[in-house]
A and B are shown apart, each in its own frame.
Chain A
Amino acid sequence: MRWITKKRLKSTAKAYLFLAPFLVLFIGMVVYPIGLGVKLSTYGQRGARMWYVGAENYTRIFSDSMFWQSFRIPLFLLLIQVPLMLFLATILAFLYETRRRDGAVFRFLYYLPYTIPGIVSGLVWSYIFSDSMSPLRPVLDLLGRSDVKLLTRDNVPPILLVIILWQFTGYTAFLVYSSLIAIPREYSEAAQLDGASFWQIAFRIKLPLLRDPLITMFIFNAIGAMQVFNEPWMLGGLVVLPLNYTPAMYIYNSAFSQGRFTYAAAMGIILAGLTCLFSLYILRTASKQMLGRRLE
Chain B
Amino acid sequence: MKLGRRFRITVTVVLVLLAVYFIFPFYWLTIGITKNVGQLFQKSLLPGIPSHLRENVSRVFAYQDGVFFHWMGNSLLYAGVGAFMGVFIASLAGYAFRRYDFIGRRLLFVLILAFAMVPGFATTLPLFMMFRDLNLLDTRLAILLPSFVNVFGTYMMVAYWNQVSDEVFDAAEIDGANDFTIYWRIGLPNIFPGAITLFLLAFVGAWNNFFLPLVLLNSRAKMPLILGITTITDPQGFPVYNLTLTASFFTILPLLIMFISLQRYFKPQVYMR
Q: Is the CB of B19 within 8 A of A110?
A: yes
A-B contact pairs, 23 of them (CB 8 A): A14-B102, A18-B92, A29-B148, A37-B123, A37-B125, A40-B125, A98-B11, A112-B256, A117-B255, A120-B229, A121-B25, A135-B44, A166-B21, A166-B22, A175-B272, A201-B1, A229-B211, A230-B211, A233-B210, A252-B211, A268-B121, A276-B118, A295-B98
**13 more CB-based (< 8 A) A-B contacts, given A21-B92, A106-B19:** A2-B101, A15-B100, A22-B89, A33-B123, A37-B125, A109-B22, A113-B25, A118-B210, A128-B24, A227-B119, A255-B128, A256-B215, A261-B129
* B90 within 8 Å of A (CB atoms): yes
Residues of B whose CB lies within 8 Å of any CB of A are 1, 3, 7-8, 11, 14-15, 18-19, 21-26, 28-29, 32, 40-41, 43-45, 89-90, 92-93, 95-106, 108-110, 112-115, 117-119, 121-123, 125-130, 145-146, 148-149, 151, 154-155, 158-159, 162, 179, 183, 204, 207-208, 210-211, 214-215, 226, 229-230, 239, 241, 244-245, 248, 251-252, 255-256, 259, 263, 268, 270-273
> Bound state CA distance, A18 and B123, in angstroms?
25
6 A-B pairs with the lowest CB-CB distances in the bound complex, closest first: A117-B208, A15-B102, A15-B100, A272-B122, A33-B126, A18-B96
> Bound state CA distance, A88 and B76, in angstroms?
36
- Contact residues in B for A217 (Cβ distance below 8 Å): 271
- Contact residues in A for B151 (Cβ distance below 8 Å): 26, 30
Tell me the minimal C-beta distance from A245 to chain B in angstroms.
Answer: 15
Q: Is the CB of B241 within 8 A of A117?
A: no
Tell me the minimal C-beta distance from B180 to chain A in angstroms.
Answer: 8
- Contact residues in B for A283 (Cβ distance below 8 Å): 113-114, 117
Contact with B along A230-267 (1 / 0, CB 8 A): 10011001000000000010011001100001001100
* A152 within 8 Å of B (CB atoms): no
Instruction: Tell me which of A14, A119, A252, A256 contacts B226 (CB under 8 A).
Output: A119
Whether A230 contacts B210 in the complex (CB less than 8 A), given A95-B15, A133-B43, A255-B125, comes out as yes
- Contact residues in B for A133 (Cβ distance below 8 Å): 40-41, 43, 241
Q: Could you tell me the dominant secondary structure of chain A's interface residues?
A: helix
Q: Is the CB of B245 within 8 A of A127?
A: yes
Q: Is the CB of B25 within 8 A of A115?
A: no
Residues of A within 8 A of B (CB-CB), count: 102
Q: Which chain B residue has the least Cβ–Cβ distance from A277? A: B117
> Bound state CA distance, A16 and B101, in angstroms?
11
Tell me the minimal C-beta distance from A53 to chain B in angstroms.
Answer: 17
